[in-house]
Amino acid sequence: MARPCFKLEKDHPLPLAGVDEAGCAPLAGPVVAAAVILDRERFPRGIDDSKKLSLEARESLHGKLMQQARCGVGICSVEEIDALNIYWARMLAMARAVEALGFDPAFVLVDGNRCPKWERPSRAIVSGDARCRSIAAASIVAKVTRDRIMADHAAVYPGYGWERNRGYPTPDHRRALLELGPTPLHRRSFGLVREVLAAAAQPMLAFAAE
């Protein structure tokens, strides 16, 4: 299968930023978005959808993108996710990523089917991380940034396997959540976390009623 390219990007003015996020599905941790502006004459080879790349390839490309591209990162906290819901938190993180570039790009391409509510010239592209090189680059920056954040959190909250599962609802994470209970970094608005909290509250309610 062909890798992402500039084909869908060439109809839009420069400088053009590709935007993508990482971390919508996890039970814990922030959602992280990145905005990347590539130099079409000088960019790292091998850019692809972050989900298709190995850990080593993502880390290598991330380092090169930090040197050869203009990158901005936006983060939405667990508290914001619970207050806004994950959809609007994702949109806010993407808006913050573009703002973090430090200047207004002429155009923004966003992965997905909708752009944030902003006044910027922009276009949403479904599966953009697999089709557009700038969005794919953003997917790498967002993924590596979030993975590093979760690895740091894993050292503070051991037992959940975040250094491996990054907060996603894997069997080991689900098991640890049931056995150890939620941490402050678990998303209370997510169903499984709510269920664990509700189950933990039942014995206390029964005790209080006695």
Confidence (pTM): 0.94
Structure-token pair, residue 12? 């839009």
Q: Which helix (H) or strand (E) holds 69?
A: none
Per residue in 148-165, pLDDT (tens digit) is 999 999 999 999 999 999
Helix ranges restricted to H, 44-181: 55-68, 78-84, 86-99, 128-131, 133-156, 162-165, 171-180
> How many whole angstroms separate alpha carbon 56 and alpha carbon 54?
5
Structure-token pair, residue 63? 């380092």
Q: How many CB atoms lie within 10 A of CB 19?
A: 32
Which residues, other chains included, contact 166 with Cβ-Cβ below 8 Å and sequence gap of 6+?
A: 23, 26, 29, 146, 147, 150
Per residue in 37-47, pLDDT (tens digit) is 999 999 999 99
What integer is the mean pLDDT of 44-62? 97
Whether the link from the prior residue into 184 is cis, omega within 30° of 0, is no
Contact 19, 73 (CB under 8 A): no
